[in-house]
Amino acid sequence: MKSYIKHAVGGFNKHLLSTAVITALAVGHSTASYAGATFKIDDTKWVSVGLGLRTSFTSTESAAGATHNQWSNNFALDNARLYFAGQIHKYLKVEFNTDSTTSTSGNGDIRILDAIGKIEYNAYANLWVGRMLVPGERREMNGPFYSGIYQTFGAGTPFEPADYNTTIQNNGTSAGSFGRDDGATVWGAAFNDRFQYAVGFFRGLRGGANASDNPSFAQKISYNFWEVEKNPGYYTSGTYYGKGGDILTVSLNNQYQSQGAGSKATPGNFRGTGVDVLMEKILPNKAVLTFEGDYKNYGISGGNYHAIANTPSTGIMPNFNMFAGQAYDVSGMYMFPQKIGIGLIQPYLRYVNVNPTGSSNRNAYQTGINYVIDGHNAVISLNYIYGDLATKGLNYTTTATGDKVSSLLLGFQWQI
């Protein structure tokens, strides 16, 4: 039985971003993964469990003008997750995932990430209800465990609304958490599974600008030109390490919510549109070449965007300052076919550019190397980033500034 429990994607704490700590808070799935243990009850009923761990060491250069501590040194327990899934009927399944999202600060509280009831009838149409990933760009659907790059969120393009907060709140500052929201998604595939779709509606922004309690709508469509990607539901992967054959998939996504940004005094309608592509080719020498890219075009209409971007949140008037503008993220990876010790060597390059409306441009250059021991289940990553993406963070005001700094990361990810 293929496990649905190991694809739980998340986002990044905006407060960490603004202080240039480049750490991702997410975990993904395995395209052909099995849970750590599956307990069969009868011919149709089963329960499975698994776990995931991500931990890292980061050293970041101080901004210009700093008088102390030229390089910061931080150890982080980024994720400690438990995955649960089960089937109660031939067509009925359930998924439940948790994470300890404050482990780094020592609190170690357990938080519900996913709680999904599933009606899966055939390849063409299936229904998920509960708290789940909002259909969106590939990077969101991958999660860092399945993107090939450790800090896929912290060093990437801006978040979608459901990823802008680590907790779900009703005070106008949250449209979900870690890429998830409460709602329903219909998904399926056609034309020999080459065409894939997911359409959902969710609560979106709660309170604040959304005084009318308007729902949020999300759509994603994909076409597999070469081999068909095989993932649970509408989830995706950023690399298959050559195990999925030759891949070429192009996807379009869109999200919209009336009064989905700003404050009660200055509401705006949010729209986020994107396109992404994944190409993975097994070369004649058995090496694996992977290219991934995404482009975003986000806008806020029906309101004063500059007032939204430049108004700080207060206890009296919270402001949901979403990104508006253009951004793109491209990366290339090459995995050598020869095994070195117990793993494979996979160097990569990445470039990210973010150009907000009415604010300063920002970018990041990244180079790294992965030591791939067991696909997505066991990877060690060492990388270097240079740019002002982290120092400017989620500040999209007209006065946003930030120095270009260097950062080194050594990350470990394990899951079963």
d(Cα 146, Cα 115) in Å, to the nearest integer?
A: 21
Q: What integer is the mean pLDDT of 375-398? A: 94
- Structure confidence at residue 143 (pLDDT): 80
Q: Which secondary-structure segment (H or E) carries 48?
A: strand 46-61
d(Cα 271, Cα 259) in Å, to the nearest integer?
A: 10
Contact, 210 vs 227, CB < 8 A? no
Q: What integer is the mean pLDDT of 187-193? A: 97
Q: Is the pLDDT at 366 greater than 60, yes or no?
A: yes
Q: Which of 27-41, 159-173, 328-342, 396-410 has the lowest mean pLDDT?
A: 27-41
Copy the structure tokens of residue 95: 């998924």
Contact, 325 vs 300, CB < 8 A? no
- For the chain, the structural domain boundaries read 14-415
How many other CB atoms sit within 10 Å of the CB of residue 161?
28
Q: What integer is the mean pLDDT of 15-39? A: 42
- Structure confidence at residue 78 (pLDDT): 87
Q: How confident is the model at residue 174 (pLDDT cuts 50, 70, 90)?
A: very high
- Structure confidence at residue 261 (pLDDT): 95
Q: How confident is the model at residue 25 (pLDDT cuts 50, 70, 90)?
A: very low
Tell me the Cα Rg of the chain: 20
Q: Is the pLDDT at 315 greater than 90, yes or no?
A: no
Percent of the chain with pLDDT over 90: 71
Q: Is the pLDDT at 30 greater than 60, yes or no?
A: no
Q: Which of 56-70, 108-122, 390-404 has the lowest mean pLDDT?
A: 56-70
- Structure confidence at residue 106 (pLDDT): 54
- Structure confidence at residue 298 (pLDDT): 97
Q: What integer is the mean pLDDT of 165-185? A: 92
Q: Is the pLDDT at 256 greater than 80, yes or no?
A: yes
Q: Is the pLDDT at 12 greater than 50, yes or no?
A: no
What is the residue-wise DSSP string for 77-114?
A: EEEEEEEEEEEEETTEEEEEEEE-TTGGGT----EEEE
β-strands 339-340, 362-372 pairing: unpaired
- Structure confidence at residue 104 (pLDDT): 52
List all residues 6 or more positions away from 359 whose beta carbon is below 8 Å from its beta carbon. Answer: 309, 325, 395, 396, 397, 398, 400
Q: Which of 25-29, 189-193, 209-213, 412-416 has the lowest mean pLDDT?
A: 25-29
- Structure confidence at residue 26 (pLDDT): 35
Exposed, middle or buried: residue 290 (CB in 10 Å: 0-12, 13-18, 19+)?
Answer: buried
Q: How confident is the model at residue 3 (pLDDT cuts 50, 70, 90)?
A: very low
> Could you tell me where the DSSP H helices lie in 145-282?
none
Instruction: Give tens-digit pLDDT for 79-135.
Output: 888 999 999 999 999 999 998 865 555 556 788 899 999 999 999 999 999 999 999
**Average model confidence (pLDDT) for the chain?**
88
Instruction: Give tens-digit pLDDT for 225-248.
Output: 999 999 999 999 999 999 999 999
| Listed residue (262, 167, 183, 263) closest to 216, CA to CA | 183
Indicate the SS3 state at residue 141: helix
- Structure confidence at residue 133 (pLDDT): 95
Which amino acid is it at 86?
A: G
d(Cα 331, Cα 23) in Å, to the nearest integer?
A: 18
Q: What single DSSP character describes residue 320? A: B
Q: Which pTM does this prediction carry?
A: 0.87
List all residues 6 or more positions away from 309 whose beta carbon is below 8 Å from its beta carbon. Answer: 321, 324, 356, 357, 358, 359, 396, 397, 398
Q: How confident is the model at residue 165 (pLDDT cuts 50, 70, 90)?
A: confident
List all residues 6 or more positions away from 131 whose beta carbon is below 8 Å from its beta carbon. Answer: 112, 113, 114, 115, 116, 180, 181, 182
- Structure confidence at residue 23 (pLDDT): 28
d(Cα 178, Cα 175) in Å, to the nearest integer?
A: 10
Q: How confident is the model at residue 67 (pLDDT cuts 50, 70, 90)?
A: low
Q: Is the pLDDT at 29 greater than 60, yes or no?
A: no
Q: Is the pLDDT at 66 greater than 70, yes or no?
A: no
Contact, 8 vs 81, CB < 8 A? yes
The number of residues in the chain equals 416
Contact, 320 vs 263, CB < 8 A? yes
Copy the structure tokens of residue 84: 């649960």
Q: How confident is the model at residue 326 (pLDDT cuts 50, 70, 90)?
A: very high
Contact, 288 vs 242, CB < 8 A? yes
Q: Is the domain covering 14-415 a CATH 2.40.160.10 domain?
A: yes
Q: Is the pLDDT at 73 greater than 70, yes or no?
A: yes
- Structure confidence at residue 20 (pLDDT): 29
d(Cα 188, Cα 127) in Å, to the nearest integer?
A: 9
Q: What integer is the mean pLDDT of 319-342? A: 96
Q: Which of 3-7, 12-16, 84-88, 192-196 has the lowest mean pLDDT?
A: 12-16
